[in-house]
Amino acid sequence: QQQVKQSPQSLIVQKGGISIINCAYENTAFDYFPWYQQFPGKGPALLIAIRPDVSEKKEGRFTISFNKSAKQFSLHIMDSQPGDSATYFCAASVSGSARQLTFGSGTQLTVLP
């Protein structure tokens, strides 16, 4: 049973545009929600993360919006650049249990120059 659903599967955005990727979760015990960025041939790397006690977190051009009541969170990439072209994964974990991450299925982002 997939516990974190991610959409869209792929996304094409013009340079300078806003990229938005959405995730929804089922397990209300999740208390940590990271986003990972993966370039071709590389392992995923942490981009930004949020806890459910805040509704938004911003780091540079990247923002996570979190809606606890709807059990949804999203990644917004402002002023998208060709260098942002990568696969993005949302994930979630529960305190304890070795912080096992449950990943979404991924979104392949292409930013056109």
Q: Would you count residue 49 as binding another protein (CB under 8 A)?
A: yes
Strand partners, 49: 34
Q: Is the CB of residue 111 less than 8 Å from the CB of residue 14?
A: yes
Q: Would you count residue 46 as binding another protein (CB under 8 A)?
A: yes
10 Å Cβ neighbour count for 88? 24
Q: Would you count residue 43 as binding another protein (CB under 8 A)?
A: yes
Q: Kindly tell me which residue out of 19, 34, 64, 74 binds another protein, with binding defined by CB under 8 A.
A: 34
Give residues 82-101 in contact with another protein (rule: CB under 8 A). 89, 93, 96, 98-101
